[in-house]
Structures are given as structure tokens and as C-alpha cells.
Structure 1
Amino acid sequence: MDVSEYNDGNGKVIVRAKLDIRDAKRIVVRELPFGSTTESLINSMAAAAKKNKLKIAGISDYTAEEVEIEIRLARGIQAEDTIDALYAFTDCESSISTNVLVIRDRHPCILPVTEVIKHNANHLLEVLEAELKVEEKQLRKRLHAKSLEQLFIEERIYKHIEEVKDQKLINDAVRQGFKPFETKVKELTNDDIENLLKVPIRRVSLYDINRANKEMKQIRSRLREIKEHLDNLTFYATTFLDKLIKKYREFYPRRTKITSFKQVDAREVAQRNLSLKYDKDSGYLGYGISNGNTLFSVSPYDRVVVIRKSGAYALHDGVEKLFVDKGMLYCDFVEPERIFTVVYRDEKGYPCVKRCKLEKFVLNRGYDLIPERCRILGLTTDPNPQVHVTYKPTPRMRVLEEEFDVSIYPVRGNRAKGIRLASKTLKSIKIIKKAIPEENKDQPPGDR
């Protein structure tokens, strides 16, 4: 379990199944993540395999008292290469949101765990303090009764009532008998006298002074302990909790192991086993179409940049079937350092060139590569392109064709306008590869 995003009880925890990969050709699930069953876990694996996200040969469930789900891998696939895909595409990993919802002052509210623990700790102190005070009261009552009984028997106060028959006079006689011991007896109530009169004769005759002293000594010792606990209530509470942990730890062991997981990005572990096709007749692009030319292999999570013939471009995610119109100019993965060279006709009919990088995108949001009322005539990602331009002939025009080395033009932002190549009406253009002189062919590109 990974609790790095627990956020004091108002975040999430990530739980994973325990996987055995000692055999390179198979993976065995030994423990299920919280919230999963063997059936739900197997179903998630089968669904991932059906979508070509996992390469497995079969799944067998041997679960009895202990969980044991065997995953047999396809030929040529290793266990270590499959673990990340299991965590990314199946229930072997799941995220559990945590929210501490409590009722406070008769209203529901969400609190951090720290505040809940603090509240419970204060409540525990109050309970322990109340228990100690109740016990202290009971012990003092017992000590008082024992002291009265000891005096009543040892000092033979009971002799004062042997000849008295009236109940009121009996009580007075007992009080008179305790008069000499007022320093030891702070209070003598009618209930105390009644309890003393109930002492059986046999108990009087067998009264053990040493035993009575020992019992009172134990009571006084416990009262001193209670006073010390009340004076150091926090220490007493932590000791109380430590005893509980020691007593019940072996009966309730921790079932999860707290660790930190390396985050698995589904895009990184997804296999590129889908053919991205473009049907130039219908204008559809995607790995879900049956007709068209295959451009390259993708996964369902790949993002691709598409530039349409109008100059509009966008970043698309998981292109299963997308209409991009006929005459699509470009489609590929995002490469921030790639330089695009666009030749277009401006609104006056003059040739212009624009060089830029497509670095930042908002997913599925459309952008324009060229200004309005302009038309793209050519696009290339060649780092050293040349453009052959043909102009519309006019009277007195001597130069009808020109070649431009557009690699010398600066690379600008994707929203910048292009640079005009000539103030002549354009007829057509052709992008050609820059010729490399014979003496420079063997030199590295950076030294030419």
C-alpha cells in the first residue's frame, strides 16, 4: 500500500496485489488488493488481454484457503515485462479515495485524521480520568468503612450498646463510643452506624488485626497510585495504550505492507500493436477503420498531431476513428524539437514561408498554422529544405522561376506570421531536398 497521497485522511491510497514472479514464464497472484475478489481480478485480466494490453496464454484459479491465481505468459514474454501492464490495466492495482466524514455538533463534516485523533485522545483522557476518580471514591469509602470497623472492634465500642434497647439510644451510644477517636474519624453517618451494627458476632470474635491493617495498607497504596496517575494523566494514557497494543498485537497483525510504489503510466507500458490508418477517399483516420493506408503503429493511449489541408492542426488522444478531411498533410507523434516548414499563398497571392515548432497543445483544441484567407501549398519536416517557386507570367517579367534555401529563415513561434519570399503572384511551388556538395557528403551534418 502506498500512502504518499493520503493527505491526512482526505486523499487516496494505492493498493496492489502481491505478485510472485520467481518463474519467468508465469506470474502468480498470492494476495488480492483491498476491494477485489478472485473473480473480479480474473475478469479484469481477461478484458485487458482481449484489448491486446496484455500478452498472456491463459489464467488458472487455484485459490483455496490461500489466494493462488496463475497467469501463463505468451511465448517470448517475460514476467518482469508484464508486471507494469498488470498494474496499469487490471485490478492488480486500485486507488481508494479516503474521506473522514464525521458528525460534529449535529452536522456532518469532513475532518483531517489528525483532528479526529486529537479529539479521540482528549476523550480518552476524560474517560480515564473519570474512571480513576470513581475508583478513588470507592477506595476511600472502603478505607473509611475499614477504619470504623477496626476501631469498633479493637476499642470494644460495641460493649457500649449491650444493655441499650432503644434504637435511637443505640446510635447515640455508638457515637459516644467514637468520641475519643475524633482525630481518626472525620465523619460518622447513620449509614456508617447501621453497617457497624450489622457486623456479625462471629466476625467480631475472629477479627484479624494484621489482616485488616494489610488490607488498609493496600488501599492506601492504590490511592497513592491513583493520585500519581491523575497528576500525570498523559503518561498514564500512553502506558494504557501500550498495554493494549502489547496484549492484542499478535491477534490483530498488520495485513498490509506500507511502501512507496513507482507510478506506472499506462501510456508508457501500453503496447503499440494497433495500426493507425488513413483513408484518403473518406477522410477518416484511426486504428478502428478497416480501409486506408497504414501510417504507423500506436496504442490506445498514444497522442498524435494531425495537420489538415486547411492548415488547422490539433493534438488528438486515442484516435480510434476521427474525420480529418481529405488531403491530410501530416500525422505523427509529438516531437517538440521537430521543425515544420510551411509554404503558403497569402491573401495577395504572394509566396510565403513559415518555420516553427509545435511544442504546446491543449488536447483536442484546434489551432491555425497559417493566417486567415491563406492557402497551404506545401509542408515538410526536412531540416534543410529548398523551395522551387514558379510565378505567373506578366509583361516585362524576366524571372519566372526561383529556388529558395528556406533553411536559412528563422524558426518562429507557431502563432507568428510567415515571411514573404517574393512580391510576385504565385503559380506553383515544389519542395525539394537541398543538394549536398560532393566534397561535404562525408562530413558530419554539424561540420558542413
Structure 2
Amino acid sequence: MEEITDINPEDNGQQETITKVGGMYKDWFLDYASYVILERAVPAIEDGFKPVQRRIMHSLKELDDGRYNKVANIVGHTMQYHPHGDASIGDAMVQIGQKDLLIDTQGNWGNILTGDSAAASRYIEARLSKFALDVVFSPKITDWQLSYDGRKKEPINLPVKFPLLLAQGAEGIAVGLSTKILPHNFVELIEASIKHLKGKGFTIYPDFPTAGIMDVSNYNDGKRGGRIRVRAKISQYDKNTLVINEIPFGTNTSSLIDSILKANEKGKIKIKKIEDNTAANVEILVHLPSGLSPDKTIDALYAFTSCESSISPLACIIEDNKPLFIGVNEMLRRSTDNTVDLLKQELEIQLNELEEQWHFASLERIFIENRIYRDIEEEETWEGVINAIDQGLQPHIKHLKRAITQEDITRLTEIRIKRISKFDIDKAQEKIEALEDEIAQVNHHLEHLIEYAIDYFNTLKKKYGEGRERKTEIRIFDDIEASKVVIRNTKLYVNPKEGFIGTSLKKDTYVCDCSDIDDIIVFTATGKMMVTKVDTKTFIGKDIIHVAVFKKKDKRTIYNLIYKDGTGGSTYIKRFYVSSVTRDKEYDLTNGKSGSVVHYFSANPNGEAEIVTIFLRQVGSVKKLKWDIDFADILIKGRNSKGNIVTKYAVKRIELKEKGVSTLKPRKIWFDDTVRRLNVDERGALLGAFKGEDKLLVITQDGIARTITPELTTHFEDNMIVLEKWNPKKPISAIYYNGEKELYYVKRFIIEQAEKEESFISDHPDSFLELVTTHWLPKIEIEFIKERGKDRKPNQELALEEFIAIKGINALGNQLTKEKVKQVNLLEPYPYQEPEEVEPEDMEVNEEEELSNPSENKSDLTLFD
């Protein structure tokens, strides 16, 4: 700090001092940032606590008498150590209590599922959990420091012998950095610690108290740049109701319901009402309007509400009074190594205490057994007493492990006469031998420290691991395209003559329902094409001939076009699809000559190829004025292709003669068991090639069979056991236990009503499905239970086709056997030649896709495959 003195003559010699204060701020910000990072926001790697949490735990230990304490009392006690107010201490304590690990709570501590806050601290109570008493505290190996006011001593770090930081998670915002460590599973952390101690590799992933589903593909070891996706667990309650039983981490039922209602108000989804029946467990019922697809609504909930969210972890901890960014796996290794070191310190202290007990027990025996206490009767001074005892002990102390000190002799003089008179040499020897056994055991633990640590972790798992199994399911998520699941919440209109499209043209021609995030594809009579965003009113070009919602990556919608190439030019025919365009760019589908005009145009969602009749004008020497053209004879090429010549003469008109069938090969569909979704990208198991009318057969473990249209948005339950292309003529064979009759039954049936869900086992609560197969000629093996006093009946093989005829799905079936069945095994079926399915030849497609040139219009948005 610098002072400058300035004398102003006009002030009659008075001096004015200017003080530059810039230097005062030079270190203040850094000091403040360091304080916030080290003392408030970021946890320490040694014990996993922030300072306020550590002081709360220390106060709980000081107050611990086995009974509950008012939280207000604990907060007040903690203020002796914590330099901040009661509000920050109370909030931090509630957060620890809600994690259900370190604090045994009583009263209303809030609800992490609903977001309800805890009651006031004067109404709720707490005490240390048994786990905390076992794992967190060990005063003999704790380093202490003075509290902020110097009146008390508090621990620098608590000797936590468990990866507590990873179990609880931590979140904090400091100055210049932040931390977000996600909670992990209690049992998995112990198992990973054991693997580390055994020198094996391991990987740990988060586990949340709110359960839900999680995709950890990009977790990145919890380091900066990583990301996980979390979803609510949504299932179909009935035909028009969805149920949410688990919610994503970071949300609660209130915020989740609010996000669903907002999405409904914006028209992204459509629901009738929501019921929140959450109590101990989450149960949110979402009622849908009739006719709305539940599968599509589930995807829409993930796309437009808090039912799916992303979490970006950032693992930052304090080590040696410095912030350190490390991954969660490395964090676990350090924590486990620290636990081993703490266990070693405890063993060394225990060994030292046992050796001291052994040393004094041995001295006491020598002192009493050899009547050395009588040597001090004639001594008149304290020094003489000490010397007499020391000289009396010398012949008997060769086996001791350390030298005798004056303190040892002083303790001998403090032995009472009553104890000497009742001294039992045998009991004294037994005590010494017991101490020697304990010393040997502790030495063994120190020599085999890693095995001892593994046993310690296994004990923790056995003692506290029950009920702490993984709650959050790990699964790879499929990407949901918002445009495919959004509810069409508005109507699209077109003024074809003037060339306008939009949602506000209500006096003009209605086209279709659309959403505000859709893209619209438009064709005009001059052979121009454009894709544009839905808006209230957009000018495309006069004489619009086709408008539709544009689907990206759609190669099954085929456009059939016949156009005249310029004024007086030839007429061409072409077939093409559109899957990659630049938004708001005009494309010319003709050869580009002025005066080109479209004679015929059709859009075919499944590649249909119609037959049209060409009529020519009667001019000159033209003889053939009429003939038919089949679009099926035209190859599907890129939209830039010129096409094939139809005629050089003037066309009068073109008429549709016959609607066509699809010229595309049936679409191959795969099932990816990882994400439990259908796809056309060759991921998972091939289900077959599907035409428009083909269905999928779905059978679940609870005896439900149904057929469905193979839509890529379909959600499949975890209890699904059969998924295949449905052959209406192929029988289904099932063996089930009838709970009412207490016998096994066999039935064979075919599904007669498509897309109808039916149960094929009895509805008795004890009934269950034993086996189901879709083989043409199945064969089974029956294993019987051995009855007491009888020989075990040999296994029986059975051909189901011979055993029972095909009946209706609701038939009871035939009794399998009267004997007690142990289990039924499915054997290799009898050979059967299935009739081959004839498929149309695959049409050749020349994928001459035009890539966008961003330089043409810098504001264009390119929609790639």
C-alpha cells in the first residue's frame, strides 16, 4: 500500500493523503477462493466429508449415549466447531440423514421421492447408525486440531474405513471449480475394494436411491466430460394408462408431474389426467386418451419431459489441501489403500496395548509370586523402595520384551494388599497366555494385512449389505427422435394456386395434422421441391401439387414423376426417394430447362408402382396416340437423375389406369436385446422380412400371447420370452401348472384374432407357465419327483403333436400326467420342412444422394441421414 502526500496552496497548507488500495485486493480473492474450496464446497478424499459434515459427525459422536438426540441440540453442539449458522448445519445434516447410511433418523426427515422437506430441527431426532460407529470413528488414530475459536479440538479427518465418498456422493460449487460425485452402490463398492486388494481390475457405476434406468455408455469414469442418461421406469398399466414406478435421479414426483403437464400444455404429448399415488414407493398414473399409442407416448415422455435427463459428473476432491480431479475408480483405489493403512494403524496400537498388558501382567506375577513386596519393609525412603523392587525383579526378567522403567515399578507399589492376598498364580498364567494368543493373532493380521482387510470388507458386506442391492438398472438407451414421437398438435393448410402453406391458412385446403417441430416437403407443378419448417405462413411457389410431413431417413416413400423437359421438349419418367436435403433450398427435379412442367406425380409410402395411360395430341404423322406405362418397370434412382424418355411428342394428358403394389422388398427387422427395441440397422437378432400386413408374435412369462404390428417405437417388457414373426398357421405349444387342479396341463393352439391380447393359462394365483414353444413338432422330457419309499420314475419323452390336437386358445388342454413333476425340459424338435415364403425381387436403388453445399446459404440447416 502506497501513500502520496499532496499540498494544495489554496488549502492554506493543508495536506491531502491519497491511499492506493489496489494492493489490498491482490491476495484477497485467492484467499477467499481457497477458503471456499477447502473449507466449504469440496470433500476430502481421506474421509469423504466436507468440513460441516465432519463436524456434524464429530458432534454426534460426542453426544452419543445410544439414545436419540433432538436435531436442534445436535446443531447447537456443532456450532461450537463450525463458524457458520445453524441453517447450513441443519440442511447438511438432513442431507446426510436422507442418504440412510450414517445417521439413524426418527421423525419426518423429508422425502427424496416427492421432494417434501424435513420438519423443523426441534421436532426430529437422530443418533449415529451402527455402521457409522463401526466405520467412521477411531479416536486413537485420529489427528486433531483446534476449532476456529481455539476452545475445542476437532478432527482434521475422520478415520473412515470405507469408500464413503463414493457411497454417498457429493456436490458442491466453489470459486472457479465445482464437484459432482454421483452415489454408488454399497455392495458393489465393497466388492470392488476386494477386487483391488486381490490385484484384479474393476469398474464401478452410479446407483441412485430413486432407482430408475441409467445409460452409462459415456460415464468416463466420473471425470470431466463424462455424461450419463437417466430415465424413469415407465410401463403400460392397461390399454389407456401408463404407470411410472421409478424416477430419474435429480428429480422428484412433483417436478416430474409438472414437466409432464407443461409438455401437455405445449402439445408435445397428449394426456387426459395424472394421478399421483406415491407413498413409500413411487406410483404416478398417466391416463391417455383412447386411440393413442402407449408405446409412442412413452417415447414422447422421454423426449419432452423430465422422465429422461442427462447428468454430467465432475469428480473433484481435496488431497493434501489441494483440489484434485480424478476418476471414481482411482478414488476407490485410494480410499481402499487408506482403509488398509488405517487398519494397520489400529492393529499396531492394539498390539502395543496388548504387549503393555502382557508386560505388566508378567511383572505383577513376578512381584507377587517371588514376594518381592517384602523387600521394601525395611526401606525408609522412596528411592530405597524403588531400588529394592528393581533389584528384586532383576533375576526374573530375562524373558520380558522391554526394560523395566520407574513407571512400571511405581505401578507395582500401587497394588493393594487385598489383591496380593487373593492372587491366584494359575489364573495369572492363564491371563498371560490369553494375552500371548491375542498378540500372536494381531501379529498374524499384520503379517497378512491384505487378507485381513479383505475379511474386514467381507464382514461389512455381510453385516450391513442386506437390503442395499442395486436399485438403478443399467441399460443402453435407444435414441428417440422427437419428430417421430411428438403429438401432431396443429393442422397444416395449403393454398396451392398462390403457393402458400402454413398453420394459419384456415380458409384454405386442409392437408394433415402436424407439430411445430415438423419439416414439410412440398412439390410444385414446375418440378420444384423444397423442405421447410412448419410455420404460420410460408411462400413456396405457385401451383403446389403435393404437401406432406417430411420424414428423415425415409427410403420407402417413393415418388413417381412424369415431366416435360422445357417448352416443346421430350417427356421423361423417373422414380426417386428423398432422404437428405438442405432446409429451405429449392431443388429442381426436371432437367432444369425453362418451361418444364409436371404431367403426372404421385407419392407412395411403401414404394407402390401404379400403371398409367399416356394420351398424345394428334399432330402430324403420330400413329400411336395411347399406351400404358407401368412404373414397376422403372428403376428407382436419385432425385437428380434425368429419367427415361416417354415420348418426343406432345402429351395431351396422363390418367391413372391401375393402382400398383409395393415394388420394395419386405423390410427386414432386427431385435436388439440390449435396448429391447426393434430396428432396421442390423443390430441384434434378425426377426425376418416384413410386409405391410405382417405381425410379430409376443408371449410373456405370465402366459399372455398377442400379435402386434412391428413398429420401431414399440416397448417390450422384461418378462417377454417369445418374440418372432407371426405365422398364423403355426401352432403354439404350452405346458402350464393349473393352480386350481394342482396338475400340469398341455395345450396347442393358434392365435385367431390378430392384435388381441389373450391369456392361455388359468387365472388362478398359483398357476404358472412352465414351458412354451413355437416349433412345428415339439418334443419334451418330463422329470418326476422321487416319492418316499418308491423307486424314482424314469424320465418320459413326449411328442406334443401326437399327445394333443390343436384347440382354441381358451381351452383347458390335456392333463400332462398324474405323477408329481420335478421339471419339464424342451428337447430337439422333430424335423419339419416349413413351406418357403416367396418374396418379390429386390428393386435396384441407385443412391445418388446430393450433399448440401453450406456455402450456398449460410443460414441453411442440413438434414442428413
TM bucket by the smaller chain? 0.7 to 0.9
Alignment match, 2:654: 432
Asked if 1:99 is matched to 2:308, the reply is no
Q: TM-score, normalised by structure 1?
A: 0.74
Alignment match, 2:214: 3
> Displacement of 1:307 after TM fit?
4.0
Alignment match, 1:246: 462
Equivalent position amino acid for 2:654 in 1:
I
Distance 1:272 1:53 in 2: 8
Cα gap change, 1:326 to 1:124, in 2 (>3 Å): farther
Alignment match, 2:445: 229
> Displacement of 1:260 after TM fit?
4.2
Equivalent position amino acid for 2:216 in 1:
E
> Displacement of 1:204 after TM fit?
2.6
Unaligned runs of at least 5 residues, structure 1: none
CA offsets per residue over residues 9-63 of structure 1, 9 Å max, x none?
A: 4331423156682x65555655554433443333333334434555544344565
Cα gap change, 1:291 to 1:233, in 2 (>3 Å): farther
Equivalent position amino acid for 1:36 in 2:
T
Alignment match, 1:355: 574
> Displacement of 1:149 after TM fit?
2.0
Alignment match, 2:491: 275
Contact 1:88 1:264 in 2 (8 A): no
Asked if 1:414 is matched to 2:639, the reply is yes
Unaligned runs of at least 5 residues, structure 2: 1-211, 604-608, 664-839, 842-865
1:189-228 → structure 2 map (5 Å cutoff)? 189-228=405-444
1:74-93 → structure 2 map (5 Å cutoff)? 74-75=289-290, 83=298, 85-91=300-306, 93=307
> Displacement of 1:72 after TM fit?
4.4
1:241 match: secondary structure: helix
Asked if 1:343 is matched to 2:563, the reply is yes
Alignment match, 1:119: 334
1:185 match: secondary structure: coil
Cα gap change, 1:359 to 1:235, in 2 (>3 Å): farther
Q: Which has the higher contact order (CA 8 A, sep 6+)?
A: 1
> Displacement of 1:135 after TM fit?
1.5
Distance 2:662 2:444 in 1: 86
Asked if 1:380 is matched to 2:594, the reply is no
Asked if 1:109 is matched to 2:329, the reply is no
Distance 1:143 1:74 in 2: 81
Alignment match, 2:344: 129
More moved, 403-412 vs 240-249: 403-412
Cα gap change, 1:313 to 1:231, in 2 (>3 Å): farther
Contact 1:160 1:173 in 2 (8 A): yes
Cα gap change, 1:145 to 1:37, in 2 (>3 Å): same
Distance 2:371 2:453 in 1: 46
Distance 1:201 1:249 in 2: 52
> Displacement of 1:342 after TM fit?
5.8
More moved, 3-12 vs 132-141: 3-12
> Displacement of 1:406 after TM fit?
9.8
> Displacement of 1:130 after TM fit?
1.9
Equivalent position amino acid for 1:374 in 2:
K
Distance 1:330 1:157 in 2: 118
1:313-352 → structure 2 map (5 Å cutoff)? 313-316=529-532, 322-332=538-548, 333-334=550-551, 335-337=554-556, 338-341=558-561, 343=563, 345=565, 350-351=569-570
Alignment match, 2:189: none
Equivalent position amino acid for 1:3 in 2:
M
Question: Which structure's CA Rg is the greater one?
Answer: 1
CA offsets per residue over residues 201-247 of structure 1, 9 Å max, x none?
A: 33333323333333323322222222232333333223323333333
Cα gap change, 1:25 to 1:2, in 2 (>3 Å): closer
2:214 match: secondary structure: coil
1:5 match: secondary structure: strand
Identity across matched positions, percent? 25
**What is the Cα-based RMSD across aligned positions, in Å?**
4.6
Asked if 1:139 is matched to 2:139, the reply is no
2:404 match: secondary structure: coil
> Displacement of 1:184 after TM fit?
0.9
2:473 match: secondary structure: coil
Cα gap change, 1:165 to 1:316, in 2 (>3 Å): farther
Contact 2:497 2:544 in 1 (8 A): no
Cα gap change, 1:192 to 1:387, in 2 (>3 Å): farther
1:435-446 → structure 2 map (5 Å cutoff)? none
CA offsets per residue over residues 295-333 of structure 1, 9 Å max, x none?
A: 233355555433467766454566665443433454334
Distance 2:373 2:531 in 1: 105
Number of aligned residue pairs: give it. Answer: 431
Equivalent position amino acid for 2:395 in 1:
P
Alignment match, 1:364: 583
Alignment match, 2:404: 188
Contact 2:498 2:543 in 1 (8 A): no
